[in-house]
Structure 1
Amino acid sequence: MTVVADPGQHRRQRVRLTPQRTIQVPVTGSREAEGPLTLGQVNIAQWLSQVSDHFYSVLCVELPVPAVASVDDVVETIAVLGARHEALRTSYDLGEEKRQLVAASGTLPLEVCVLGQGRWGPRDRTSVAGTLLRLLRDNPDPDRPAMRVVVAVSPDEDGRVIACAGAFSHMAVDHGAIEVLRREFAELVGDTSRRHVGTPRHQPLDQARLEATPAERRRARAAQVYLQRQTSKIPRLLYHMPDTSPGGDPLAVELSSPAAATAVRRVAARTRASRQSVVLAAICAVLAHRTGDEEIVLPLMSGNRFDRHLLDYVGSLAQGTIASVGVAGRDFDALVAHTWTTVLEASRHARYDAAERARLDERIAHERGLLFRYEPLFNNLAPEPGPGTSPGVLPGTDELRAALAHTELRWRPVQRNAKPVRFNLNQLDERLVLDLWVEDDGVVPRQEAESLLLAFERVLVAAAHEDLTTARMHDLIGLPTAERSANWLLLDSCRVDLRQVQSLLDDALAPAVTRVFAEANGHPLVAYVTITDHVSTPEQAHARCMAALPDHPAVLTPRHYVLCPTAPTDPADLASWPAPRHTGTGRAPAPTVEL
């Protein structure tokens, strides 16, 4: 195994780009129109209203080019794509009545950069494309066009395109749409005979009209009912470990493993499940063992491309959903099958009105006494191989062991994430490439992150040859299950540290004297509070605790509040508190969604 820093650093100094010109490529479509947003667009607009500068608000990817391509080839390709796909000619009015506005014509920017002196060719494409991607990320376009393309050309007279990259507005496209655009870009740039708009496509305005039909409205409401059930049991933090030291930096560790890629192919063939489900099952097995949880309730993303007319659709369809993966008592093959069916069920309930979901989430959060952050625990960015793809010949034990020597761990700094841990699956073919993003390396140290990824790899490689019992999986994972002191309790699917709840009470209800108890008078997690001018009812106490939660991200609010006129000499002595003036939960029941 090799551990390295950012793999592009050693090459970066040799790839020098000089901006030469920007071409505004004219694009002309078949109509000018406007209409309401699609559910996918509403979802992105809702998300960006909270974090407009999020790392993923603009999606940057390499665009494939053949060995011989000119700037004119790229210009003509952009013109066809802009005419073919209305999402690339759309602007958005995100006022009170949100609308999408499709222009009949417009322009898309193409930036041309010249490489430094040297002999440049296809072998340099990866390193040059990496530099182009950094250029796009480090120099965002303030106008945020739907598609912005940059090419690097050779310094000689023919000016061949060596590499190409694109930045796409997430309002316009999601990762599924980008794969469509990358495929079509490769076809068009390499073959002049294909450069025509073709037959009419299903466009975002068409999708918005479809979503307004009674059948699709019922489908969206059913998704809300499903999500209400899942939201009512998802833990506040999935990876909530004891004895951590918050206040560190975010980082990402990337596992690149040819052995794991081979293992995933074999397990998928044996279990008849998707390769992504095999990966997620192994992740859940490792996390459940480490945290001691029997079920992993996780946010994830659904591409929402199940319907035939959406397979080649260019627009934002992806939305978040929640899956519940029961790990306890399942051998690995059974866990893979269960994960696959569970994720399919969750993914088919991922098209809904994000604004309505936000309102429902707010009420459920108030009832449960927590805050939701829905960054996905698992984000699958690796395309599933098509039907008929052979899993290949299973290598022997010695060959797999030899492949493990080529495992690499790369780490790099990243922007802060909203989850303690997040897994991004980026590649599944010759190598399995899995990122583990850590929000705070004081909570999840780098060594811990690397240990989780290597445990994941060990489980997969062992499962390549045979099903694994639960005991065998525990042995392979090789990490201790978290041990928690008597200050911790499991409540409402959440790990709760009473010391952290007490800190919340001290901050939210000062100058009142407060004390939290794990149980009192038949109620769990009870707060005793002295009455003050600002807090005299359970409702006021709960409202102030909810308002303070952003500064206490790992905490649940008390389930019951007891308001007393005075405090005893020793607040920790439950029996010494005087008779209360008011008691209650401080919240109203969460609403249900009717079909």
Structure 2
Amino acid sequence: MTVSPPTGTGAPRRRVQLTPLRSIPVGFTGRRAAEGPMTFGQLNILQWLSGTPGHVPATVCDELEVSGETSVGDVAEIIAVLLGRHEGLRTSYVTGERPRQLVVDAGVLMLDVCSLGEAGWGAADRPAVAKALIRWLSARETPGMTDFPVRVAVAVVDERVIACAAEFSLMAVDYQALGIVRREFAEMIRDRSARQVGEPRHQPLDQAGLEATPAARHQAATTLCYWQDQLERMPRHLYVPSAGPTGQSLSVELSSVAAAMAVRAVAARTRASGSSIVLAAICAVLAQRTGHQELVFPLLSGNRFERRLSRYVGTLVQACVATVEVSRASFDALVTQTWTSVIEACRYGRYNAFDRVAVGKRIEHERGLCFSYEPLFNSLVAESLPAFNAGAECRLEQVNAALRQTELRWRPVPGFQAPVRFGLTQVEGVVRLESWSADSGKVPRTEMESLLLAVERLLVAAAHSDLDAGRIREVISLDPISRGPDWTLVDSCWVDLVEAQRLLDEALAPAAARLFPSVGGRPLVAYLVATESVSTPEQAHARCMAALPNHPDALTPRHYVLCAATPLDPANLNTWHSVLSAGTGRVDQQSADALDSSLR
């Protein structure tokens, strides 16, 4: 096994230096100019970006494949066709109380041309030059909602295009839509006769119209009910990070040929998809490491189930929530259950994101927590049929030999909120599985590596036969996260009682407050001295909710008891007297928002 930082492939013989030459106007014409409401997918990105400003990228960049004979004129002609064909690529957006999408029927896109300088650059240099173009595009100011959603650049020697790259707003494309654009671009590079706008397609405005029908509105309402059921069980953190110094955001990628061989073999037995098999292994590892037997965590659903969406260029991906029970079942049974859970979750992956956030906020208030929505599992693997359709024969010695090819590579990544997430980018031939840590001081690289290697061990062990629960634990070979006597499990959440007391001290200062793990069968009961500003359980709860984001290992109290005076020994429950009021402090969300505003 190799452990190393990432290295590039196809490195050029010399450094890539891009010199901007000019911008060429590319005129385009579409079938209609129109406006209408945003789609669920667009609203999802709008909410995502507005909810975490500065923490998530608003665009996606990728290479558009050219040939050795491609000219700047060829690129301009193809880009004009793509813009005429796909309305989402010529749309701007209006935010506010009534978010809208505005489609233009004609316009001009400026194609940026950069020079590589002297001759000698060829097809072998294309990957490295494309990466340089992507960096150049990404370094520019992020386009806003009212800006054009596409930027394209080429790197040339004379007029010969060595590489081409494009940057798209996530309001306009998701990764599957980006793949459609890349394939259509490559097709038109190879075949000039394909450079036609073609027949009308399903467009984002059409999708918004469908989502406004009674049937779609009913399904969206059903989806919110499903989300509510899942969020009432989801822990604040499924994977509780250990305390430590602040570190950087980091990704570790496992590259395993042996795991890919194992996935094929398990798929032949279980008739499950490759990504579900990998996810089942992740669930087994997380269950053993965290102590949670019921795992409730978010996934991303591509939402491309209808035939009309197979060539749809627009953003459709939204989060969904899956629940997987990891108990005494065998690995094959866990795989089957995981695949079923993923399919069920994806049925509820299309909704108004702002409505879903409102549901989440209400449940956060009721349960006294704030969700981190982790560990997110995002599969970018396109699987039209389960992997069992391919040959799955593998011998023990072959798999063991392939283990010597396993690599772990790490790299810094943009900051994000959830403590840990997983991304699967390949299962055929080699499993490529990433683990991301938002803070390597809390979830260090060594921890991520141990999780990924445990997933590989479990897959490889399951390649030849099913594994019972005892064997699964033995193969994973990871101890549960160490928790001292001050930790307790409340409402599916591991809580550090010391941290929960710090929460009270911060939220209710200068009044005296004391948290008791259990009183009269109720968990997490807070006794506090009433003050002019905190005289009811509702006010106490509102203050605790406001301070909660600073205390990731805490929950708010389940019950508040307000007393008239500070006892001589606050740590002694029997010394708290003169009770003025008591209650859960939970109120409806509208009242909670009003209370929160009054405290600011």
Contact 1:220–1:353 (CA<8 Å) still a contact in 2? yes
Distance 1:507 1:387, change over 3 A: closer
Change in 2 beyond 3 A, CA 1:431/1:279: same
TM-score (norm 2): 0.93
Structure 1 CA distance, aligned partners of 2:473 and 2:414? Answer: 33
How many matched pairs?
A: 587
d(CA) in 2 for partners of 1:514, 1:366: 20
Report the 3-state secondary structure (helix = DSSP H, G, I; strand = E; otherwise coil) of the residue aligned with 1:341. Answer: helix
1:567 matches 2:570: no
Contact 2:424 2:432 in 1 (8 A): yes
Of 302-311 and 133-142, more deviation after overlay is shown by: 133-142
Hey, what's the Cα distance between the residues in 1 that align with 2:501 and 2:259? 44
1:56 matched residue in structure 2 = 57
Aligned to 1:404: 403
The equivalent residue for 2:87 is 86
1:577 is aligned to 576
Q: Is the 8 A contact 1:27 1:105 kept in 2?
A: yes
Q: Percent of aligned pairs with the same residue? A: 55
Q: Is the 8 A contact 1:371 1:549 kept in 2?
A: yes
Cα-Cα RMSD = 2.1
Letter in 2 for 1:49: S
Give 1:238-253 correspondences, 5 Å limit: 238-242=238-242, 244-253=243-252
Q: Name the CA shift for 1:590/1:262 in 2 (closer, same or farther; >3 Å).
A: farther
Native 8 Å contact 2:55 2:416 kept in 1: no
Confirm or deny: 8 A CA contact 2:283 2:324 kept in the other structure.
yes
User: Which aligned pairs between 1:1-40 and structure 2 lie closer than 5 A?
Assistant: 1-8=1-8, 11=11, 14-40=15-41
Partner residue, 2:280: 281
Query: What are the equivalent positions in structure 2 for 1:291-370 lying under 5 Å apart?
Result: 291-370=290-369
CA contact (8 A) 2:548 2:554 kept: yes
**For residue 523 of structure 2, what is the amino acid of its counterpart?**
P
Counterpart CA distance in 2 for 1:279 and 1:332 is 11
Listed one character per residue, the Cα deviations across residues 57-102 of structure 1 (whole Å, up to 9, x for unaligned) are: 1112222333442222221111111001000011111022211110
- Over residues 260-292 of structure 1, what are the superposed CA-to-partner deviations in whole Å (9 max), with x where a residue is unaligned? 222222222321111111111111111111111
Q: Aligned partners of 1:34 and 1:533: how far apart in 2?
A: 53
Q: Does 1:194 align with 2:197?
A: no
Name which of structure 1's ranges 439-448 and 121-130 shifts more when overlaid on structure 2.
Answer: 121-130
TM (normalized to structure 1)? 0.94
* Residues 494-528 of structure 1: per-residue CA shift (max 9 Å, x gap): 11111111011010000011111110122111111
For 1:582 and 1:283, locate their aligned partners in 2 and report how far apart those are by CA, in whole Å: 46
1:235 CA displacement: 0.8
Deviates more, 1:525-534 or 1:550-559: 550-559
Once the two structures are TM-superposed, the CA of residue 171 in structure 1 deviates from its matched residue by: 0.8
Question: Take 2:199 and 2:301, find their aligned partners in 1: how far apart are those partners?
Answer: 28
Distance change (3 Å), C-alpha of 1:339 and 1:322: same
Question: Contact (CA 8 Å) 2:261, 2:392: kept in 1 or not?
Answer: no
Distance in 2 of aligned mates of 1:239 and 1:500: 17
* Secondary structure of the corresponding residue to residue 30 of structure 1: coil
Cα distance in structure 2, aligned partners of 1:71 and 1:472: 60
Unaligned runs of 5+ in 1: none
Q: Deviations over 1:522-541 (max 9, x none)?
A: 21111111112221110110
- Contact 2:89/2:172 (CA < 8 Å) preserved in 1? yes
Aligned-partner Cα distance in 2 for 1:584–1:289 = 36
C-alpha distance in 2 between matches for 1:561 and 1:339: 40
Q: Which residue is 1:272 aligned to?
A: 271
Structure 1 position 147 matched with structure 2 position 150: yes
| Partners of 1:109 and 1:147 within 8 A in 2 | no
Question: Per the alignment, do residues 274 and 435 of structure 1 end up closer, same or farther by CA in structure 2, a change over 3 Å counting?
Answer: same
Cα pair 1:330 1:470 within 8 Å, conserved = yes
Q: How does 1:427-446 map to 2 (within 5 A)?
A: 427-446=426-445
Tell me how far 1:129 sits from its aligned partner: 2.5
Paired amino acid for 2:126: R
1:490: which partner in 2? 489
User: What whole-Å deviation, never above 9, does each CA across 1:207-248 have from its counterpart, x for those lacking one?
Assistant: 111111111111111101101101111111111145x21422
Give the C-alpha shift of residue 428 in structure 1. 2.5
Partner of 1:76: 77
SS in 2 for 1:405: helix
Give yes or no for contact 1:320–1:374 (8 Å, CA) kept in 2. no
Question: How does 1:124-163 map onto structure 2 within 5 Å?
Answer: 124-142=125-143, 145-153=148-156, 155=157, 157=158, 159-163=159-163
Q: Note if contact 2:458-2:475 (Cα within 8 Å) is conserved in structure 1.
A: yes
* Cα separation, 2, equivalents of 1:3 and 1:150: 35
Q: Quick one: which amino acid aligns to residue 247 of structure 2?
A: G
State the distance in 2 between where 1:25 and 1:54 align.
33
CA distance in 2, matches of 1:571, 1:19: 69
Which letter maps to 1:39? F
Aligned with 1:162: secondary structure?
Answer: strand
Call closer, same or farther: CA 1:450–1:171 in 2, change over 3 Å: same
Task: Tell me if the contact between 2:267 and 2:388 (Cα under 8 Å) persists in the aligned partners.
Answer: no
Corresponding position of 1:110: 111
